[in-house]
Amino acid sequence: MLEQKVPIFDVRRLDEWKQTGVVEGSKLLTFVDSSGRMNPDFINRFSTIVNKNDPVILICRTGNRTSTLARLLVEQMGFTQVYNVRNGISHWIGEKRPIKHL
């Protein structure tokens, strides 16, 4: 999907991006803070960037946040093509896939 230029959103926090790096070309947009509170700007910013019928990929540390977010976007917001990177950036790195350090 990345080769087809489907956008990937890394929804982790700044400290997490700096700790592990990110998938090259990721759009960085924090979903929840370290206390689990949703970033109040997230939905508005995401909806401004992504059309509800366009494909989009979500990635976090282990896939938990993006699983929750994907359900929210599809079930409550009407997005139709939301894909979650199973097991997140941890698995991505474990498979020796390329990352970019911030």
Q: pTM for the full model?
A: 0.94
pLDDT-based confidence at residue 48 (cuts at 50, 70, 90): very high
Exposed, middle or buried: residue 12 (CB in 10 Å: 0-12, 13-18, 19+)? buried
Mean pLDDT of 23-48: 95
Domain ranges across the chain: 8-94
- Asked if CATH classification 3.40.250.10 holds for the domain at 8-94, the reply, yes or no, is yes
Average pLDDT over residues 76-84: 97
Please report, to the nearest 10 degrees, the dihedral formed by the alpha carbons of residues 79, 84, 89, 95 taken in order.
-140
9 φ, ψ to 5°? -110, 120
The confidence score (pLDDT) of residue 59 equals: 98
pLDDT at 12: 97
The band of 55, judged by pLDDT with boundaries at 50, 70 and 90, is: very high
CA distances from 79 to 2, 59, 67 (A): 19, 16, 14
**Res. 4 pLDDT band, cuts 50 70 90:** confident
* Pair 80, 53: CB distance under 8 Å: yes
pLDDT in tens, 62-72: 999 999 999 99
- Other beta carbons within 10 Å of 23: 19
**Whole-number pLDDT of residue 74:** 97
